[in-house]
Amino acid sequence: MTNTAASSRASQASIVVARGSAPGRCVRAIVRASGPSLAHAFRHAFAHPLPATRCHEANRMMTAAGEIPCIVLWMPAPASFTGEDCLEALVPSNPVLLDAAVDALLASAAKQACAARHANAGEFAMRAFFNGRLELAAAEGLAAAIAATDDAELAAARMLASGALALEANAIADAAMQCLALVEVGIDFSDVEDVTAITPEALAPQLRALSLRLESISNQGAREDRASAVSRVVLFGPPNVGKSSLFNAIVGHERTVTADEIGTTRDAIVERVQFAKDITAGLIDVAGYAAKVVDGDPLAAVASQRALDEVRDADLVLMCDVAHQPMTELPQGVEGSRVLRVITKCDLATPCIVDAIFTSALASTGIDALKAQIARRLRRLPSRGAALSAVLPRQAAAIAEARALLIEAAVTTESEPRRTHWTRPEETASLLRAAIEALRPISGGFDADDVLGRVFARFCIGK
Ligand SMILES: Nc1nc2c(ncn2[C@@H]2O[C@H](COP(=O)(O)OP(=O)(O)OP(=O)(O)O)[C@@H](O)[C@H]2O)c(=O)[nH]1
Ligand SMILES: [Mg+2]
């Protein structure tokens, strides 16, 4: 559990008070409080004591700055947003009066020996969550709605808060589970008469359809800038390791110059490449990167910097090293999660690294495996420009992961040598199981504490 979540859960016994409206000009502002026994705690803060039952009434707050007229919305526990006693006082929107009103509530609680303090960011929503008044998805939706910068992001946030996202994710997980059951029947009861598993031919289109449904969720509310939505894959590494040769081998023609000289490539060269049936991306060849640039070559520093700029903007970095040399360290700002290690010139030496793709542009080996691995990694990226990933990165990542696994399951199924019989049903079944698991954070059944801190930290104080 995160510290924020743990400390907030532990301190729920205290009363919290905050301004509940954003700063800015308006007629009235809200002061909000939540906690146990508010009527008792705030006895000295109001001219008229708070009644036993829910009401809204005109009252006056007794503050150090004088009496402030207010409208009180009084919601005793448990029928309130947080599930605790909740109070909202609408006071004239003046920063001095607002501070005075908050102080008056805290001072009254102190006089009554009740623990009270200023609320932390998101604390009202967090209390609502812990008291079972708010689903985590709804809380996240609320946070996302606050953070939304346009209508599309707001629509994505509403989809989560309304439960529509969970419903669709559930339906897809359910359908995937049905497919899994039909495949497993063939594994577990293959020798039993009358038990027929689904054929690869019948299953593959179902898996494709499910992956399309996931794609359409992640594109909900997507902005119309699809032109810039092409992923960028950059060939990066020290000079002369064979990046340009690999670039040509992948694109399938001599698009860029290669030579024995160090520093042959100076500028970034882009070519659109279809890495798989469903994956097209921009492949970019850049100059060799050297942390220390050779003296007497003024262009080298500029070219090297340009290479670094391309890498920082890349969705996937193909980090190239030659088989017979030690691996290059990743430059600063390039996280390992965006990197695919590639070993070049494998015809010259046997590489000793394990976790990499081995290639030789000269011998044309490893090129198809590299393209397939690039496609696999790109499928896992959340769609660019999608509002969902902008405001709900956790959900977008889960959907991207599940979608990639479903496509992989479809590809595995389609590559069965016979259309009506299975040779490797276990492989498809395990990919399907992983896809269902990947959807779990949205369809339910995950460890809430892991994400709580991050969710509520996105709220502002008073929410
Ligand atoms: N044996 C062998 N040689 C290769 C291979 N790939 C490239 N080379 C050679 O290595 C040299 C450098 O190749 P490039 O593709 O220009 O290397 P680069 O990394 O683009 O070089 P810079 O642009 O200078 O950074 C050339 O002489 C290529 O012929 C390979 O797979 N095997
Ligand atoms: Mg080059």
| Identity of the amino acid at 415 | S
Do residues 289 and 237 make contact, with C-beta atoms less than 8 angstroms apart?
A: yes
Distance 261 CA to ligand 2 centre (A): 9
Nearest to 63 by CA among 102, 100, 90: 100
For residue 316, the surrounding DSSP H or E stretch is strand 316-322
Ligand 1 atom closest to 257 (CA): 16
Half-sphere exposure of 327 (CA within 13 A, CB side): 17
Spatial distance between the Cα atoms of 411 and 440, rounded to a whole number of angstroms? 23
Burial environment of residue 342 by CB neighbours within 10 A (0 to 12, 13 to 18, 19 or more): buried
pLDDT at residue 7, rounded to an integer = 43
Tokens of 384: 């660019």
User: Between helices 200-218 and 393-414, what is the axis angle to 10°?
Assistant: 160
- Residue-range domain boundaries for the chain: 3-134, 164-225+385-457, 227-379
pLDDT at residue 25, rounded to an integer = 63
pLDDT at residue 459, rounded to an integer = 56
Q: Residues 185-198: what's their mean pLDDT? A: 63
Spatial distance between the Cα atoms of 352 and 340, rounded to a whole number of angstroms? 16
Beta bridge partners of 320: 342
Do residues 160 and 392 make contact, with C-beta atoms less than 8 angstroms apart?
A: yes
Is any atom of ligand 1 closer than 6 Å to the C-beta of 344? Answer: yes
- Of 140 and 49, which is predicted with more confidence? 49
Torsion of CA 127, 130, 136, 141, to 10 degrees: -10
Distance 340 CA to ligand 2 centre (A): 18
Cα angle value 195/201/205 (rounded, 5°): 115
Burial environment of residue 286 by CB neighbours within 10 A (0 to 12, 13 to 18, 19 or more): buried
pLDDT at residue 309, rounded to an integer = 86
pLDDT at residue 367, rounded to an integer = 97
Is any atom of ligand 1 closer than 6 Å to the C-beta of 80? Answer: no
Tokens of 418: 């016979």
192 band by pLDDT with thresholds 50, 70 and 90: low
Spatial distance between the Cα atoms of 115 and 217, rounded to a whole number of angstroms? 45
Q: Rg of the Cα trace of the chain?
A: 30
Q: Residues 434-446: what's their mean pLDDT? A: 78
CATH architecture label of 227-379: 3-Layer(aba) Sandwich (3.40)
Distance 375 CA to ligand 1 centre (A): 24
103 CB-near residues (< 8 Å, 6+ apart): 63, 64
113 CB-near residues (< 8 Å, 6+ apart): none
pLDDT at residue 2, rounded to an integer = 41
Whole-model pTM: value is 0.46
For residue 102, the surrounding DSSP H or E stretch is helix 95-111
Q: Give, using CA atoms, the residue closest to atom 30 of ligand 1.
A: 345
pLDDT at residue 268, rounded to an integer = 87
Among 133-142, 345-354, 407-416, the range scoring the smallest mean pLDDT is 133-142
Backbone angles phi, psi at 59, to 5 degrees: -150, 180
pLDDT at residue 409, rounded to an integer = 94
Among 120-129, 145-154, 351-360, 435-444, the range scoring the smallest mean pLDDT is 145-154
Among 15-24, 97-106, 352-361, the range scoring the smallest mean pLDDT is 15-24
Q: Give, using CA atoms, the residue closest to atom 21 of ligand 1.
A: 240
Distance 282 CA to ligand 1 centre (A): 21
Is 444's pLDDT higher than 70? no
Ligand 1 atom closest to 239 (CA): 25
What is 164-225+385-457's CATH topology?
Answer: Four Helix Bundle (Hemerythrin (Met), subunit A) (1.20.120)
441 band by pLDDT with thresholds 50, 70 and 90: confident
Q: One fold for both 3-134 and 227-379?
A: no
Q: Give, using CA atoms, the residue closest to atom 13 of ligand 1.
A: 242
Cα angle value 139/142/143 (rounded, 5°): 90
Domain 3-134 falls under CATH 3.40.50.300: no
pLDDT at residue 21, rounded to an integer = 74
Q: Residues 325-336: what's their mean pLDDT? A: 81
Ligand nearest to the CA of 240: 1
Beta bridge partners of 118: 17
Spatial distance between the Cα atoms of 235 and 255, rounded to a whole number of angstroms? 14
Pairing mode, strands 231-236 and 66-75: unpaired
Spatial distance between the Cα atoms of 336 and 356, rounded to a whole number of angstroms? 13
**For a pocket test of ligand 1, which of 241, 250, 258 has the largest count of ligand atoms closer than 8 A to its C-beta?**
258
170 band by pLDDT with thresholds 50, 70 and 90: confident
Q: Residues 417-432: what's their mean pLDDT? A: 89
Is any atom of ligand 1 closer than 6 Å to the C-beta of 248? Answer: no
* 389 to 74, 271, 451: CA distances (angstroms): 38, 26, 16
Is 431's pLDDT higher than 50? yes
What does the pLDDT look like over 272-328, one tens digit per residue?
899 988 788 899 999 998 877 666 677 888 888 888 888 887 889 999 999 888 888
Is 47's pLDDT higher than 90? yes
pLDDT at residue 414, rounded to an integer = 92
pLDDT at residue 3, rounded to an integer = 39
Spatial distance between the Cα atoms of 377 and 316, rounded to a whole number of angstroms? 8
